[in-house]
Amino acid sequence: MDKFQPLANSSLEQTIDKILSQTEKEIESNISSALSDSQKTLNDALPNLEREYDKIIADGKKEADKIEKQITGGADIEARNKQLLALEESVDKVFKSALDQIVNADRSDDYANLIKSLLEESTKILGTSEIIVFTNSKDKDIVQSSLSGFPGSELSSETIECLGGVKIKSKDGAMTFDNTLDARIERLKPLIRKDIAAKFGVNN
């Protein structure tokens, strides 16, 4: 048995060496192949990565632009609305002050002439002088004296609430024309507002 011992050892060693060498080669080959595969994958992924990167940046930019528009748009509108409200408040104050001046104005000869022209205008529009005239308590006397030039007209005993001027009604009650100062201001209010706003430096 002993004389075969070295031979057996040598054969076993050779086989082991052979296996080791083969395994080493295989591992080396696998490593090399894995390395080249991973390199290839990396190289292939790079353009995709760059595209993805560009897309993320572009999307982010779009989103940022959108948010910027939202914020600036909202702020612009808010500021403009506050400006509009402030302007309206000022216009109202001017109106109120002007109306106060009208109420307290002297009922002079000029005012009597104004009433006459208002009556003329009103009868012309209604197409008749068969009218009943309404006015406020303060202007009753002036209106009464002006009616002499309008045959068929009469002053109503009933008074109306207004700043001045007259409201006339045909005697059959079918037609009414409001020529009070209040109604005239109301008709011209949009134009007057524009003029007042222009005084505050608002020009459209």
Q: What is d(CA 39, CA 46) in angstroms, rounded to the nearest whole number? A: 11
Residue number with CB closer to other proteins (122 or 146): 122
Q: What is d(CA 158, CA 134) in angstroms, rounded to the nearest whole number? A: 7
Q: How far is the CB of 42 from other proteins (least distance, A)?
A: 23
Residues that bind other proteins (CB under 8 A): 62, 66, 69-74, 76-77, 80-81, 84-85, 87-88, 121, 124-127, 173-179, 183, 187, 190, 193-194, 197, 202, 204
Quick check: helix, strand or coil at residue 166?
strand
CA distances from 17 to 7, 10, 28, 30, 61 (A): 15, 10, 16, 19, 63
Residue number with CB closer to other proteins (20 or 198): 198
Quick check: helix, strand or coil at residue 133?
strand
Q: How far is the CB of 202 from other proteins (least distance, A)?
A: 6
Residue number with CB closer to other proteins (32 or 81): 81
Q: How far is the CB of 161 from other proteins (least distance, A)?
A: 13
CA distances from 137 to 27, 36, 46, 148, 172 (A): 117, 108, 93, 19, 24
Q: How far is the CB of 70 from other proteins (least distance, A)?
A: 4
Q: What is d(CA 185, CA 187) in angstroms, rounded to the nearest whole number? A: 5
Residue number with CB closer to other proteins (99 or 126): 126
Q: How far is the CB of 113 from other proteins (least distance, A)?
A: 19
Residue number with CB closer to other proteins (17 or 68): 68
